Amino acid sequence: MVEILTAVLSDGLPAVEAACADALRQGVRSADVIINIQARRREPAAAITIMTPAP
């Protein structure tokens, strides 16, 4: 339960609530599954562009 409440601080209540609802629709009641659903919904960080010197 603490993990889910902590996710509210980082991802916001609407996003965590949606992940909880999705888990309940799947018949799952595990904090690990809810956190995993939430992690898969996050947008990946932008890739860093590395400039290499010209040959």
Note whether residue 25 is domain-resident: yes
Examine residue 49 and state whether it is found in any structural domain, yes or no: no
Residue 32 confidence (pLDDT):
94
pTM: 0.72
Q: Residue 24: its pLDDT value, please?
A: 95
Is there a domain that residue 21 lies in?
yes
User: What are the structure tokens assigned to 41, written together?
Assistant: 């919904």
Q: Which residues of 16-42 are buried (b: 16+ CB within 10 A; e: fewer)?
A: beebbeebeeeeeeebeebbebbeeee
26: Cα within 13 Å, side-chain hemisphere? 12
Number of domains in the chain: 1
Name the average pLDDT for the chain.
91
pLDDT at residue 44 tops 90: no
Q: Is residue 46 in some structural domain? A: no
